[in-house]
Amino acid sequence: MIREHELVVLKRDKEEWGLEAGDVGTVVLVYPHGGYMVEFVDHEGNTLALLDLAEEEVAPLRGPALLRAKGA
């Protein structure tokens, strides 16, 4: 079960938002009937997208993970 404030990994591209599968976001809200509101930020903490996502669109970030900069 994914909880609020947990890091999740996007499983599908969201091209309209410039997001790709593998991008990491933070769960802001868990909806009672399923799904999540997830915030994606840049390296300075600026919000890039705040999306309502279905359970099958994200996975919990587990184990050691290396976050990488895109376009660096």
* Domain edges within the chain: 15-60
Per-residue model confidence as pLDDT tens digits over 4-38: 999 999 999 999 999 999 999 999 999 999 999 99
pLDDT of residue 49: 97
Q: DSSP readout, 9-22?
A: EE-S-BGGGTB-TT
pLDDT of residue 70: 75
Separation of alpha carbons 52 and 25, rounded Å: 12
Per-residue model confidence as pLDDT tens digits over 50-72: 999 999 999 999 877 777 777 65
pTM above 0.85, yes or no: yes
